[in-house]
């Protein structure tokens, strides 16, 4: 389907429900609230929903938002590749035929909606919407501009990562013209951490282990460390990027204890190694530079399994 068809859809109905994915990030929320703002601006009724309460961290995206009462007519999912990502609170929408349209940028999209628009080359769903709204010749409000900027910035690591496209930069330039406080947004999204998070990082880094001539580093987060930090689960995101930030490290591993004998392992690699292949050997998977798996056992057993596999990868004979 193309932008003309989506435009037609957005003009044809009166009431829209917009679904965002569980453990929501800046792109699903930014896209959802931007779309809602535009639809309401067109005189429609629209709501954004999530499996749980919207995280306060993203409060600036919905500070002027209040849910409306209406009878649902049309359902749009944004940034949702699979109905599993709806979460238990929205599981009713997982039934076939419940979602009318899905707008997404994941190549792995499961095509669960009646109609699906996927652009796997788009840095963010917010970028697809930015282009869509331009196609529709919509004058964005400042609120919509804040939401779209946040979606694009968060999904690209503030224009830092490989998935950043020239189009992402052009959109940022266009959105900045709306007078948004982009540096304040970036500070909230990328710089500010809770005191608990900072102290947890500190104690994890203090105990970081190095293997194979410092070419591998391993960050270990135990239940005890998590409990002592007093942090929300969502605050643990992003820890997996720490081990690879150390100069010379080619494989960065993060081991996070989920239950007594179950550990979630995240692997991050530089160009020389395939994280996805590494994690597949433990029954996991993911992308070339970022992948994950789950391993059972004591912490020592898990570390032994990981280092044995790493030894082979690095080509060490003993």
Residues that bind a second copy (CB under 8 A): 158-162, 164-167, 169-170, 172-174, 176-177, 182-183, 186-187, 190-195, 198-199, 201-203, 205-206, 208, 210, 214, 241, 244-248
Q: Which is nearer to a second copy, 99 or 146 (CB)?
A: 146
The minimum distance between CB 158 and a second copy, in angstroms, equals 5
Distance of CA 191 to the CA centre of its chain: 17
CA atoms within 13 A on the CB side of 108: 8
The minimum distance between CB 277 and a second copy, in angstroms, equals 20
Q: Which is nearer to a second copy, 66 or 173 (CB)?
A: 173
Scored b (16 or more CB within 10 A) or e, 202-240 reads eebeeebeebbeebbbbbbbeeebbeebebeeebbeebb
Q: Which is nearer to a second copy, 14 or 181 (CB)?
A: 181
DSSP assignment of 12-40, as one string? H-SEEEEE--SS--HHHHHHHHHHHHHHH
The minimum distance between CB 256 and a second copy, in angstroms, equals 19
The minimum distance between CB 192 and a second copy, in angstroms, equals 5
The minimum distance between CB 171 and a second copy, in angstroms, equals 8
Q: Give the helix/strand (H/E) hosting 200.
A: helix 195-206
* Residue 70: Cβ within 10 Å count: 14
3-state secondary structure 89-156: HHHHHHCCCCCCEEEECCCCCCCCCCEEEECCCCCCHHHHHHHHHHHCCCCCCHHHHHHHHHHHHHHC
Distance of CA 317 to the CA centre of its chain: 39
The minimum distance between CB 56 and a second copy, in angstroms, equals 11
Q: Which is nearer to a second copy, 115 or 165 (CB)?
A: 165
The minimum distance between CB 290 and a second copy, in angstroms, equals 13
The minimum distance between CB 246 and a second copy, in angstroms, equals 5
Q: Which is nearer to a second copy, 32 or 252 (CB)?
A: 252
The SS3 call for residue 272 is: coil
Q: Which is nearer to a second copy, 195 or 258 (CB)?
A: 195
The minimum distance between CB 119 and a second copy, in angstroms, equals 18
Q: Which is nearer to a second copy, 131 or 201 (CB)?
A: 201
Q: Which residues contact 221 (CB under 8 A, 6 or more apart)?
A: 200, 204, 236, 239, 254, 255, 256, 257
> Which residue reads 């002592």 in tokens?
228
What is the Cα–Cα distance from 27 to 124, expressed in whole angstroms? 6
Whether the Cβ atoms of residue 70 and residue 42 lie closer than 8 Å to each other: no
Q: Which is nearer to a second copy, 16 or 273 (CB)?
A: 273
Q: Which is nearer to a second copy, 17 or 254 (CB)?
A: 254
Instruction: Give me 52's structure tokens.
Output: 């749980």
Q: Select from 172, 199, 174, 196 the least CA-distant residue to 185.
A: 172
């Amino acid at each position: 389907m193309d932008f003309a068809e989506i435009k037609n859809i957005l003009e044809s109905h009166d009431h829209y429900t917009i679904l965002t994915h569980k453990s929501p990030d800046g792109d699903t929320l930014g896209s959802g609230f931007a779309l809602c703002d535009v639809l309401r601006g067109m005189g429609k009724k629209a709501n954004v929903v999530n499996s749980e309460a919207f995280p306060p961290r993203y409060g600036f995206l919905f500070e002027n938002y209040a849910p409306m009462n209406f009878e649902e007519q049309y359902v749009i999912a944004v940034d949702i590749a699979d109905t599993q990502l709806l979460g238990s609170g929205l599981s009713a929408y997982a039934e076939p035929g419940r979602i009318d349209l899905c707008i997404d940028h994941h190549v792995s999209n499961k095509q669960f909606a009646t109609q699906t628009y996927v652009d796997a080359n788009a840095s963010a769903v917010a970028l697809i919407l930015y282009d869509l709204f331009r196609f529709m010749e919509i004058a964005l409000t400042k609120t919509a501009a804040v939401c779209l900027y946040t979606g694009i910035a968060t999904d690209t690591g503030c224009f830092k990562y490989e998935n950043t496209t020239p189009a992402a930069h052009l959109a940022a330039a266009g959105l900045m013209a709306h007078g948004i406080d982009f540096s304040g947004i970036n500070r909230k999204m990328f710089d500010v951490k809770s005191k608990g998070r900072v102290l947890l990082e500190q104690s994890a880094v203090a105990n970081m282990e190095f293997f194979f001539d410092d070419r591998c580093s391993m960050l270990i987060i135990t239940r005890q460390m998590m409990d002592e930090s007093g942090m929300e689960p969502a605050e643990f995101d992003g820890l997996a990027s720490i081990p690879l930030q150390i100069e010379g490290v080619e494989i960065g591993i993060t081991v996070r204890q989920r239950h007594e004998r179950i550990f979630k392992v995240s692997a991050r690699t530089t160009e020389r190694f395939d994280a996805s292949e590494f994690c597949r050997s433990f029954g996991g998977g993911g992308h070339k530079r970022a992948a994950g798996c789950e391993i059972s056992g004591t912490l020592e057993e898990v570390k032994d399994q990981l280092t044995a596999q790493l030894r082979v990868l690095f080509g060490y004979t003993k």
